[in-house]
Amino acid sequence: MKRALLGLMFSLVIPAAPGAQSADADAVRVADQAWGEAFRTCNLPKMGQVLHDDLIFIVQNGVIHHKQDQLSSVGRCDMKQMDVHPAQVRVFGDTAIVHGTMDYRLDGPRGGAGQLVYSRTYLREKGTWQMLQHQSTVAPPKKP
């Protein structure tokens, strides 16, 4: 965890070149959407690649999951819809901040559907963007 936090601190002070910012932001969007696809398709190997070992995943009721908890959640295979929409991606060196929405539908005992607003932090290690932090809450009602 200390290594991840140090990486975050150092990357915030090293600005990326403008062209690199765009390419990096696109790569982060791909990783962000890969999380949703891995969740929906119950793809544990892919999810394991997307999630950082030091993951802190705060769900809308305030419960904190770590990587193994998140993998167990995916392993239930009850996510029937997971559409991830990363609206804003900002890259700071090897760290990226993502804000967006996701539409979901769960079957089974945890059943339900809705839209969440989320904030995530990704860390690039060895050329791969991995989710380090996630927090979500129920999206506000849409304005008429």
Helix/strand/coil (H, E, C) string of the chain?
Answer: CHHHHHHHHHHHCCCCCHHHHHHHHHHHHHHHHHHHHHHHHCCHHHHHHHEEEEEEEECCCCCEECHHHHHHHHHCCCEEEEEEEEEEEEEECCEEEEEEEEEEEECHHHCEEEEEEEEEEEEEECCEEEEEEEEEEECCCCCC
* pLDDT greater than 80 at residue 8: no
Q: Residue 87 CB: number of other CB atoms within 10 A? A: 11
Task: Note the Cα 33 to chain centre separation in Å.
Answer: 8
pLDDT tens sequence across 32-41? 999 999 999 9
Distance CA 89, CA 17 (A): 15
Mean residue pLDDT across the chain: 89
pLDDT tens sequence across 94-133? 999 999 999 999 999 888 999 999 999 999 999 999 999 9
| Structure-token pair, residue 90 | 């900002």
Which of 87, 113, 89, 91 has the alpha carbon at shortest distance from 101? Answer: 87
Look at the pTM and tell me if it is higher than 0.85. no
Backbone φ and ψ of 114, nearest 5°:
165, -165
Instruction: Give residue 139's identity as a one-letter amino acid code.
Output: A
Q: What is the pLDDT of residue 3?
A: 52
101: which strand partners?
85, 117
pLDDT tens sequence across 73-84? 999 999 999 999
